Amino acid sequence: MEGAKQLHARLLRRGTRRLQPLLLRVLAAGDLRYAALLLESYPSSSPPSALLHNRLLHALASLRHPLLLPFFSRAHRLRLLTPLSFTLLFSSSAASSFSVPFAVSSHGLLIKSGNFASGGDPFLASALVSFYAKNRLLHDARRVFDEMPRRDAAVYNALLSAYTRGGLIDAAEKLFEEMPEKNVVSWTAMVSGYAQNGRHEQAVETFLEMWERAEVQPNELTVSSVLPACAAVGAMDLGRKVEKYAKSKGLLENLFVANALVEMYAKCGSIQQAWEVFQGIGLRRDLCSWNSMIMAFAVHGLWREALGLFHKLRMTGIKPDGITFVGVILACTHGGLVDEGKLLFNSMRAEFGLNPRIEHYGCMVDLLGRAGLLKEADSLIASMPVEPDAVIWGALLGACSFHGNVELAEIAVDKLMCLEPENTANLVILSNIYASCGKWDGVARVWKLLKEKDHKKSAGSSFIELDGRMHKFLVEDKSHPRFEEVYKTLDSVTLTMKLANLENPDEVEVEG
């Protein structure tokens, strides 16, 4: 910056008005306040060009600098604002979540100035759609979009991504079908949107359509979006193919991809492969990497490995977060380590400044309940700073079922029937607890209540992965395109089992 000031002094002594190189030098030094003063020092009768104002405007908007509003107002008074000025403003605002009221007011000023009519400037229109879309003002984004005479892929993608982020999947699907040209960003928006909104089967199907039929090459974001969907539906074969593709394209260097791969293998039950990917990340590991692996060990009952990894995490100097503690307390639950679980739970606030959330209380109730410390679990629930949810009471009910505690089971079920009255499975568990304790009058009362609620068992479903595709089946399902072949095969297997049973009559008959 000192060099820029010296240049400014020399120019003033010479009476030279070579503003552009000086301004560029000041902007490169990052002193935006000095740059603004430099432009304002010129008389309004002969102000610098709109081009130089736009350079500074872009820099101010990108950094959300407090000088943006007065500088923008001054440029407006001097009639130096151009469609490019507004394009730069809205592009920067969309990227940095700039002040929405100011940007909306600027749009009004733009319309009033007559510089924007019916979406005549495609770059400005694209910036506007992106701004409104990224700030979730979807009605305004759609209005600008509809006014545009020409729309490129970037504009479609901006609105499409906004729809999927906002959970408006139906609107996103309709817009996606209307797109004259779909690129990798378009497909990725749909895959990511389906996955983030719990529609994992459609995420996988859309990814396969993109990859195989449309022959669009996935990028890092596509891969990191589809892997959680693969994990959710158990599509490990597809996950392996994605990993092979990611390796060939060098995408595993992207930490988001590597972490998603660890989680995919872990949730699909392949701990060894998850561990190999985790080790391959090496020194690039972030907290998400450690959490995924700790949780993988904990969920699969490998509590020693989970706790060992937690201690290694602490040695790296990375501070654990709430997700880390869910994993380690869960590990303690599987290992029956009540005292260590309590120490870890108490250390959250005392040592790491983390306030336990409801999921941590749920883990502790489960830990205490499995150990038979039901009264202590009940006391912990009473001490919670937030209202216990169905998971908390469900954990207590499960412990009561295991240890035959009727009194606390009745309390838990009363709470659960208020929180989730349609879930009659809780009443069935209570009935089983009564039966195990010989309280048949209690069994009768529960089943009378179940009859009044018209209790029906939910239809089960199953997934089978074949050649990288997921096939879903319900009880007596005929929606699958090859259901006739499926039932013929099932009948053949059933007949074979019955014949085998005739040859071995001591074995229990298995009905089809």
d(CA 387, CA 393): 11
d(CA 227, CA 240): 10
- Work out the angle at residue 157's Cα, subtended by the Cα atoms of residues 156 and 163, and round it to the nearest 5 degrees: 95
Rounded to 10 degrees, the C-alpha dihedral 217/219/223/226 comes to -70
Query: Which amino acid appears at position 269 of this protein?
Result: G
44-51 contacts: CB < 8 A, separation 24 or more? 44/78, 47/78, 47/80, 48/19, 48/23, 49/80, 50/75, 50/80, 50/81, 50/82, 50/84, 50/85
Retrieve residue 355's tokens: 């306030």
Q: How confident is the prediction along the chain (512 residues), in pLDDT tens digits per residue?
A: 555 555 555 554 444 455 556 666 666 666 667 666 666 666 554 556 666 766 667 676 666 666 666 666 666 666 656 666 666 666 665 544 456 666 666 666 666 666 555 455 667 777 778 778 777 788 888 888 887 777 888 888 888 988 998 889 999 999 999 999 899 999 999 999 999 999 999 999 999 999 999 999 999 999 999 999 999 998 999 999 999 999 999 999 999 999 999 999 999 999 999 999 999 999 999 999 999 999 999 999 999 999 999 999 999 989 999 999 999 999 999 999 999 999 999 999 999 999 999 999 999 999 999 999 999 999 999 999 999 999 999 999 999 999 989 999 999 999 999 999 888 888 899 999 999 888 888 889 888 888 877 655 555 556 565 655 656 666 666 666 777 777 788 778 877 877 776 555 554 443 33
Answer for the pair 359, 389: CB distance below 8 angstroms, yes or no.
Answer: no
What single-letter DSSP state applies at residue 385?
Answer: S
Smallest Cα–Cα separation from 53: which of 66, 63, 38, 65?
Answer: 38
Taking the chain, what is the end-to-end CA distance rounded to the nearest angstrom? 83
Task: Give me the pLDDT at residue 144, please.
Answer: 81
Smallest Cα–Cα separation from 261: which of 216, 233, 293?
Answer: 293
- Work out the angle at residue 331's Cα, subtended by the Cα atoms of residues 329 and 337, and round it to the nearest 5 degrees: 80
Smallest Cα–Cα separation from 382: which of 349, 411, 352?
Answer: 411
Answer for the pair 116, 122: CB distance below 8 angstroms, yes or no.
Answer: no
Smallest Cα–Cα separation from 307: which of 326, 285, 328?
Answer: 328
Task: Give me the pLDDT at residue 193, please.
Answer: 94
Task: Give me the pLDDT at residue 303, please.
Answer: 95
Answer for the pair 368, 380: CB distance below 8 angstroms, yes or no.
Answer: yes
β-strands 469-474, 461-466: how paired?
Answer: antiparallel
- Phi (first) and psi of residue 289, to 5 degrees: -60, -50
d(CA 355, CA 211): 44
Residue with tokens 């901006």: 158
Answer for the pair 163, 193: CB distance below 8 angstroms, yes or no.
Answer: yes
Task: Give me the pLDDT at residue 506, please.
Answer: 52
What single-letter DSSP state applies at residue 49?
Answer: P
d(CA 50, CA 75): 8
**Which residues does 194 contact at the CB level (< 8 Å), separation at least 6?**
164, 169, 200, 202, 203, 206, 229
Alpha helices in 301-405 (DSSP H): 303-316, 322-335, 338-352, 358-370, 374-382, 390-403
d(CA 131, CA 158): 9
- Work out the angle at residue 498's Cα, subtended by the Cα atoms of residues 492 and 500, and round it to the nearest 5 degrees: 105
Answer for the pair 193, 164: CB distance below 8 angstroms, yes or no.
Answer: yes
Give the largest Cα separation in the chain, rounded: 111
